[in-house]
């Protein structure tokens, strides 16, 4: 007999809602489907056995019957948001509603258990496998390279998977060796689809002055769209901006106000901050509003992300922008304390390390077509008055603000490991030689900032013809010619 919570009973008299196992609340016509209730209870028991955190009486999931409207078309059998499932009682095709309930319950359990460890598409494959919808799907006798590449391209785009891509994903899910532990991904995914489709969480710490990487971990090599972190180079490419006003727009990630600054935007400078492979063309008179949004990290009119970067390249982009216009970003130290800023809702336990470091912070989020967070990025640079360290973090399945939970323990460790007062040194080279006896050039874009001349890639090649000096040497950091 199903237990009914006290506050549910009045609704039940009108046929609105019933409760299954005290952890799943069924509403509307679904409240009168005992087979669906039983399927939900059985699914939760299986998920618990596999090690997942599942809904409980104190924190239930709600299941609503859905109508055909909005993005939920007649072809959809179910949908999910954290804490809520939307189910069609009589779905199209040969599978019943219980299968799709299991599918959406898996998404709920993954959300509660995996904390962004899975890319969305792996979670979808796991949900398909758990639901039973693949029971009549045969493992492919051999894998078609062209189909795999097409699926990997769809995954990288962040767009909703096509029916053909989902079909192949299902066949791969049947073929794969799934670990017994919760949130475990099959080891074959990377060999099948490449590392670009298998990215999870990663981090990188860089010396902002020299561009030298001090620490990195997780997946730092996959090139992914950085979302609103691209507002940093966009801001640095603005001419004559008021730092106090601009920094508020950055801390709140106000896309609308930043787009109003188009007349100040210097596209050639912006492009020099970016990795060569991701430099977009300059804006034209015909470019529409969505085209402008690409410069701020959003999709183009085709739904793609033209600008992608791995963590080393992304850190170099952030470094170049911040060295170019340091006064534009100092106010990002208010992110978290400023009302409306992107970190304002984070708990004090996470924000405390930013205050101790006197750190500037900027978030970036890439969302799916239906608004779900796909990739969160967080950039942190410190100390705000004279930044010498820059860190970039990213994590699947959470927004940029949510990445702070992943970043906080690493920032605490780095505070002890890399004291800011010992991060920068000044060295004099060739000071006794004639200025025309040496030349410093870079193999990447060179830029200038208040602290000196620097290169986007972090280093210069110094060639000297002075007697007794080394003819060629590689130097990292900011360059100040004595004669300047």
Q: Tell me the domain boundaries of the chain.
A: 9-197, 202-422, 435-476
Token pair listed for 132: 């039973």
Q: Are 363 and 343 in contact (CB under 8 A)?
A: yes
Token pair listed for 330: 């100092």
Which pTM value belongs to this model?
0.61
In a 3-state reduction of DSSP, which class is residue 193?
helix
Q: How far apart are CA 62 and CA 362, in angstroms?
A: 34
Q: Angle, nearest 10°, between helix axes 145-157 and 163-175? A: 110
Strands lying side by side in the sheet with 17-20: 17-20, 24-27, 61-65, 84-87, 78-81
In a 3-state reduction of DSSP, which class is residue 230?
helix
Q: How far apart are CA 207 and CA 434, in angstroms?
A: 31
Q: How far apart are CA 442 and CA 458, in angstroms?
A: 9
Nearest 5°: CA angle at 231, between 476 and 311? 45
Q: How far apart are CA 475 and CA 346, in angstroms?
A: 40
pLDDT for 110: 87
CATH of 202-422, one of 3.90.950.10, 3.40.50.1110, 3.40.710.10, 3.30.70.260: 3.40.710.10
In a 3-state reduction of DSSP, which class is residue 214?
strand
3-state helix, strand, coil in the chain (%, to 5): 40, 20, 40
Q: How far apart are CA 399 and CA 227, in angstroms?
A: 10
Token pair listed for 416: 């002890």
Q: How far apart are CA 3 and CA 174, in angstroms?
A: 36
Q: How far apart are CA 55 and CA 108, in angstroms?
A: 8
Token pair listed for 199: 């990215």
Token pair listed for 347: 């708990």
Q: How far apart are CA 283 and CA 336, in angstroms?
A: 33
347, burial (CB in 10 Å: exposed 0-12, middle 13-18, buried 19+): exposed
Q: How far apart are CA 313 and CA 296, in angstroms?
A: 17
Helix (H) or strand (E) holding 153: helix 145-157
Please provide the DSSP assignment of 58-99 as one string. Answer: SS-EEEEE--SBTTB-TT--EEEETTEEEE-SS-SSS--HHH
pLDDT for 71: 46
At 391, phi and psi to the nearest 5?
-125, 145
* Residue stretches of the chain with pLDDT short of 50: 1-20, 68-75, 196, 198, 285, 484
pLDDT tens digits for range 41-58: 999 999 999 999 899 988
Token pair listed for 14: 């009108």
Q: How far apart are CA 377 and CA 202, in angstroms?
A: 10
């Amino acid at each position: 007999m199903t237990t009914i919570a006290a506050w549910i009973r009045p609704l039940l008299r009108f046929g609105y809602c019933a409760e299954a196992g005290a952890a799943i609340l069924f509403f509307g016509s679904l409240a009168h489907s005992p087979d669906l209730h039983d399927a939900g209870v059985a699914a939760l028991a299986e998920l618990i056995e596999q090690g997942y955190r599942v809904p409980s009486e104190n924190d239930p999931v709600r299941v609503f019957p859905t109508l055909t409207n909005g993005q939920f078309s007649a072809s959809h059998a179910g949908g999910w948001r954290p804490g809520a499932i939307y189910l069609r009682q009589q779905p199209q095709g040969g599978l019943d509603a219980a299968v799709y309930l299991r599918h959406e319950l898996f998404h709920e359990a993954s959300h509660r258990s995996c904390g962004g460890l899975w890319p969305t598409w792996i979670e979808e494959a796991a949900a398909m496998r758990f639901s039973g919808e693949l029971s009549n799907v045969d493992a492919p006798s051999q894998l078609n390279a062209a189909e795999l590449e097409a699926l990997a391209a769809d995954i990288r785009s962040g767009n909703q998977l096509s029916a053909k891509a989902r079909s192949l994903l299902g066949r791969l899910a049947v073929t794969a060796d799934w670990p017994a532990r919760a949130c475990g991904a099959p080891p074959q995914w990377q060999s099948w689809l490449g590392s670009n489709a298998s990215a999870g969480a990663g981090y990188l710490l860089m010396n902002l002055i020299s561009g030298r990487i001090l620490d990195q971990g997780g997946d730092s090599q996959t090139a992914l769209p950085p979302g609103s972190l691209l507002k940093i180079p966009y801001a640095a490419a603005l001419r004559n901006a008021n730092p106090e006003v601009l920094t508020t727009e950055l801390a709140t990630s106000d896309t609308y106000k930043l787009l109003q600054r188009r007349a100040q935007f210097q596209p050639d400078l912006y492009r020099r901050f970016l990795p060569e492979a991701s430099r977009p063309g300059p804006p034209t008179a015909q470019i529409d509003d969505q085209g402008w949004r690409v410069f701020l990290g959003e999709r183009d009119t085709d739904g793609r992300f033209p600008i992608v970067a791995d963590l080393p390249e992304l850190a170099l982009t952030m470094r170049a922008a911040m060295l170019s216009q340091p006064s534009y970003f100092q106010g990002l130290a208010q992110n978290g304390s400023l009302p409306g800023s992107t970190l304002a809702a984070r708990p004090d336990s996470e924000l405390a390390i930013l205050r101790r470091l006197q750190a500037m912070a900027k978030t970036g989020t890439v969302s799916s077509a239906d608004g779900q967070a796909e990739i969160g990025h967080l950039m942190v640079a410190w100390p705000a008055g004279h930044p010498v360290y820059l860190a970039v973090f990213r994590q699947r399945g959470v927004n940029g603000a949510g990445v702070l939970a992943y970043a906080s323990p690493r920032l605490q460790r780095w505070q002890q490991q890399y004291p800011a007062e010992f991060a920068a040194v000044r060295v004099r080279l060739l000071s006794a030689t004639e200025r025309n006896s040496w030349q410093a050039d870079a193999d990447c874009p060179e830029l200038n900032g208040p602290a000196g001349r620097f290169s986007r890639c972090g280093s210069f090649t110094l060639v000297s013809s002075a007697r007794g000096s080394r003819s060629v040497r590689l130097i990292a950091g900011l360059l100040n010619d004595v004669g300047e």
